[in-house]
Amino acid sequence: MSKTQQQQILEHLRKRSITQVEAFSKYGITRLPSAIFKLRAVGHKIDMRMADVKVGGVDRRLARYTLTREAK
């Protein structure tokens, strides 16, 4: 049985933060905000901060998501 996108993202967030670029390159997830929305809907507290990230040698400003509290 394969893991859902939400399961993959939650496991990642338990260890470190994630951006859209990381979600796509590691898990093939193209809609990270949708997965974050669903995780928040079940009670996970996930913060978002804008971060400057180098993508393909170009500086980009991306959302970086961090798990601050898991749902009970």
Tell me, letter by letter, the H, E, C secondary structure of 13-65.
Answer: HHHCCEEHHHHHHHHCCCCHHHHHHHHHHCCCEEEEEEEEEEECCEEEEEEEE
What is the tens place of the pLDDT at every residue in 24-61? 999 999 999 999 999 999 999 999 999 998 888 999 99
- Residue 1: helix, strand or coil by DSSP? coil
Can you tell me which residue has the tokens 């994630």?
Answer: 18
With beta carbons less than 8 A apart as the criterion, state whether 64 and 48 touch: yes
pTM of the model: 0.90
